[in-house]
Structure 1
Amino acid sequence: MGPERFLSMEAVEAANDRGPMACHLYSLIGCAQMLDTCGRGVQAAAVRHEALSLLKELAATGERKSWSGYQTSYWAVLLSFSGADSERQTSGGPRPPSGATPMQWSPDAKRRYFDSRIALRETLDTLAPRAAEDPDQHLAELVRLHRVLTVRSAVYWEHRTHLFADRVRSLFDDGVGLARQLSQHHPADGTSTLAKVLIDRSTFHTAAGEFGPALDDFCQALSYLGEAN
Structure 2
Amino acid sequence: MAHSGNFDAETVLRARVLLLGSEPLTLGERLGAYRVLAEVSPRAYLPKLVDALFERAVELRDPGLDVVLYGQAADAARRFGAEVPDRKGRLRRALGGYEHALFTAGRRAEGRAVCEESAAAGSYGRLAVVLAEEGCHGEAADLHARHVAPGDADVSVWTLIEWAAALDAAGRHEEALEVFARVVGDAREAAAGDRAPLASLVWKLERYAGMLGAAARPAEEAGARRETLTVLARLAASGEPVSWSNIQATWVTLLALSGRPDEPAATPQAPLPALGVHPVHGWSPDVREGWFASIPAFERRVAALRASDDLPGLIVAQRRLTVRRALRWETAGRRAEESLRPSFDEGVDLAGRAAADPGALVRALTDRSMFLLAVKRYGEAHADLVAAAALRPIVTRT
| Aligned match of 2:381 | 214
Secondary structure of 2:308 counterpart: helix
Residues 30-45 of structure 1 aligned to structure 2 (within 5 Å): 30-45=207-222
Judge which range, 152-161 or 87-96, deviates more: 87-96
**Which ranges in structure 1 are unaligned for 5 or more consecutive residues?**
132-137
Query: Using the alignment, how far apart are the partners of 1:86 and 1:193 within structure 2?
Result: 13
Among 267, 284, 292, the alignment partner of 1:106 is 284
Stretches of structure 2 that go unaligned for 5 or more consecutive residues are 1-177
Q: Letter of the aligned partner of 1:179 in structure 2?
A: A
**What CA distance in whole angstroms lies between the structure 2 residues aligned with 1:61 and 1:164?**
23
What is the letter of the counterpart of residue 348 of structure 2? V
2:369 is the counterpart of 1:202: yes
Aligned-pair CA distance for 1:164 = 4.3
- SS, match of residue 225 in structure 1: helix
Q: 1:126 to 1:68 in 2, by over 3 A?
A: closer
Alignment deviations for residues 42-99 of structure 1 (CA, whole Å, 9 cap, x no partner): 2112101100000000111111021242x21111111111111222336643211232
Residue in structure 2 matched with residue 129 of structure 1 by the alignment: 307
Q: Which of the pair has the greater relative contact order for Cα pairs under 8 Å at 6+ separation?
A: 1
The structure number with the bigger radius of gyration is: 2
CA distance in 2, matches of 1:72, 1:102: 13
Q: CA deviation at 1:5?
A: 3.5
Aligned length: 215
Larger helix proportion of the pair: 1
User: Quick check: 1:119 aligned with 2:297?
Assistant: yes
1:53 matched to 2:230: yes
Task: Give the corresponding residue for 1:135.
Answer: none
Does 2:261 correspond to 1:85?
yes
Letter in 1 for 2:292: F
TM-score, length basis structure 1: 0.89
Q: 2:252 — aligned with what?
A: 76
State whether residues 259 and 323 of structure 2, in contact with CA within 8 Å, keep that contact through their aligned partners in structure 1: yes
Flag the 1:41–1:88 CA change in 2: closer, same or farther, 3 A: farther
Q: 1:93 to 1:164 in 2, by over 3 A?
A: farther
Give the root-mean-square deviation of aligned CA atoms: 1.6
For residue 162 of structure 1, report the CA deviation from its aligned partner: 4.1
Q: Distance in 2 between matches of 1:47 and 1:117?
A: 33
Q: CA deviation at 1:9?
A: 2.1
What letter corresponds to residue 190 of structure 2 in structure 1? E
Structure 1 residue 16 corresponds to structure 2 residue 183: no
Residue 153, structure 1, aligned to residue 325, structure 2: yes
Matched-pair identity in %: 33
Residue identity opposite 1:84 in structure 2: R
Residue in structure 1 matched with residue 149 of structure 2 by the alignment: none
